[in-house]
Chains A and B, each alone.
Chain A
């Protein structure tokens, strides 16, 4: 199996400041595989996905590193070409289904616009495909939904629409950015299953960004743990949950609630663990500054 997405030594910083938000991040995602990207708020997990898709906020710039999609270095490409390539081969499942659909456009065009405008399909083909996709994500009466406006659909429905839209152009890579965080648990379960089902059917490489170690264990084969923009651990899922290697990962795992073990889970993260990993970050920074 080959790595479809390869990130090498990626560093990013707020423009004009020396402090890095991403600290020499390297990771890869194989075709047909789901890789989890885990960390607390401010760890930079969403930023990695944004860097890949070229949608970083304008204040943030990439200072070093490579992002390769199927072997092609995205950062070395002219912007226009890169946008086209991403539009044709990658897709995003965003976090908040309430803001991720344009409130003033009908659902149909929002699914088909990429097919028509970027990939040059005919309107008719695109519409047929959209209906098929809605069927694939288990939406009844696709034609009616295609003609509705977002505010007419429930949160779970909208997330299904967004998943359908993400898989519309048979992408090779899907980046899911906390796709279930805004949903109720029962809906979350259905959506996670659906994402897994779609990913398996299409053989897509998927980068799954989340703060929830419970969710990771349900959908990912491998995971990468981040702290302050630095990779602290990369592991296979079964190894990780049986025996996390890094002290910070271990602390994070035991702080995660687990109702089957009420008195051993939810352990507060020890301050010494935080200082140790912060020390590690500083050491990496010193080394990096030295090298530049």
Chain B
């Protein structure tokens, strides 16, 4: 019989392809940055400062997206900045997902005191403004990749914990869990083998979303000058510089902003698409 499923699948497929395609492009560009980027991202050339992008009057060939106030090539800086963004997205995203999901699964399945402790911890955590918390952590830990990863785990594990806990509680009510008990599974096996796979699509969707959020957090930290280091190119750092010279050289802000915008959008849409694809009822 015909129903709405065909169209849902088609839409999910399109979402998945567009967002996945963009992420693949960013990944390839940053992975092979050494070969692809036209200039060194750090080389300053004060005689070629604030050159506009190629379509505007006064553009120099070779500087596709123009240069910033210190004469550094914007395109090259975006490509190298992508390295930082993607590294942070993958490491921090995965680590946050693991920490938050494990705690969420335990709280949602075992309930009792474990749930009481974890839930209270989540409540306390939710009383902090995340961005301020992250900035504070970086100030204490010092700048650097690992500080950023730790800061993201610390501020965002609750996102996974809350959602996974609720979903686990939902799934635990289902009779397939009772039937696994009747079959003779031990409790831990039921959690990992029966409930786990049913919670996984939720985790995957959140993970993808979290990677986008990690990119943003990194950008925000760079924006307040608290990221990897002051001279490495980062999208957030470029935005901060572009914000200052917005009236003189708008492209220094606009170009990284568009890339950041698309990347964050792609991460979240990729997660949604994966979730739709994984959902057995829609397949």
Binding site for B on A (CB under 8 A): 14, 17, 19, 59
By beta carbon, the residue of chain A nearest B1 is A19
By beta carbon, the residue of chain B nearest A17 is B2
Q: Which residues of the other chain, B, contact A17 by a CB distance below 8 angstroms?
A: 2
Which chain B residues in 1-30 approach chain A with CB under 8 Å? Answer: 1-4
B204 to chain A, nearest CB (A): 30
CA distance A17 to B3 in the complex (A): 9
* Dominant SS among interface residues on chain A: loop
Binding site for A on B (CB under 8 A): 1-4
Q: Which residues of the other chain, A, contact B4 by a CB distance below 8 angstroms?
A: 59
Q: Which residues of the other chain, B, contact A14 by a CB distance below 8 angstroms?
A: 2-3
CA distance A17 to B1 in the complex (A): 10
A57 to chain B, nearest CB (A): 12
What are the 6 closest A-B residue pairs judged by CB atoms, nearest first?
Answer: A17-B2, A19-B2, A19-B1, A14-B2, A14-B3, A59-B4
B2 to chain A, nearest CB (A): 5
By beta carbon, the residue of chain B nearest A19 is B2
Q: Which residues of the other chain, A, contact B1 by a CB distance below 8 angstroms?
A: 19
CA distance A14 to B4 in the complex (A): 10
Identify 6 residue pairs between A and B in the complex whose beta-carbon atoms are under 8 Å apart, listed by A's number. Answer: A14-B2, A14-B3, A17-B2, A19-B1, A19-B2, A59-B4
Q: Which residues of the other chain, B, contact A59 by a CB distance below 8 angstroms?
A: 4
A41 to chain B, nearest CB (A): 13
Q: Which residues of the other chain, A, contact B3 by a CB distance below 8 angstroms?
A: 14
A22 to chain B, nearest CB (A): 15
By beta carbon, the residue of chain B nearest A59 is B4
By beta carbon, the residue of chain B nearest A16 is B2
Q: Which residues of the other chain, B, contact A19 by a CB distance below 8 angstroms?
A: 1-2
A229 to chain B, nearest CB (A): 12
CA distance A59 to B7 in the complex (A): 14
A48 to chain B, nearest CB (A): 19
CA distance A59 to B4 in the complex (A): 10
By beta carbon, the residue of chain B nearest A42 is B1
A228 to chain B, nearest CB (A): 11
A205 to chain B, nearest CB (A): 33
B8 to chain A, nearest CB (A): 14
CA distance A172 to B80 in the complex (A): 77
CA distance A19 to B2 in the complex (A): 8
B4 to chain A, nearest CB (A): 8
By beta carbon, the residue of chain A nearest B2 is A17
B108 to chain A, nearest CB (A): 27
CA distance A288 to B152 in the complex (A): 64
By beta carbon, the residue of chain A nearest B3 is A14
By beta carbon, the residue of chain A nearest B4 is A59
Q: Which residues of the other chain, A, contact B2 by a CB distance below 8 angstroms?
A: 14, 17, 19
CA distance A14 to B6 in the complex (A): 14
By beta carbon, the residue of chain B nearest A14 is B2
A162 to chain B, nearest CB (A): 29
B6 to chain A, nearest CB (A): 11
CA distance A255 to B1 in the complex (A): 26
By beta carbon, the residue of chain B nearest A18 is B2
B7 to chain A, nearest CB (A): 10
CA distance A17 to B5 in the complex (A): 13
A270 to chain B, nearest CB (A): 23
CA distance A17 to B4 in the complex (A): 11
B5 to chain A, nearest CB (A): 12
A13 to chain B, nearest CB (A): 10
B201 to chain A, nearest CB (A): 26
A189 to chain B, nearest CB (A): 31
CA distance A116 to B268 in the complex (A): 50
CA distance A1 to B150 in the complex (A): 82
A281 to chain B, nearest CB (A): 13
By beta carbon, the residue of chain B nearest A21 is B1
CA distance A59 to B1 in the complex (A): 15
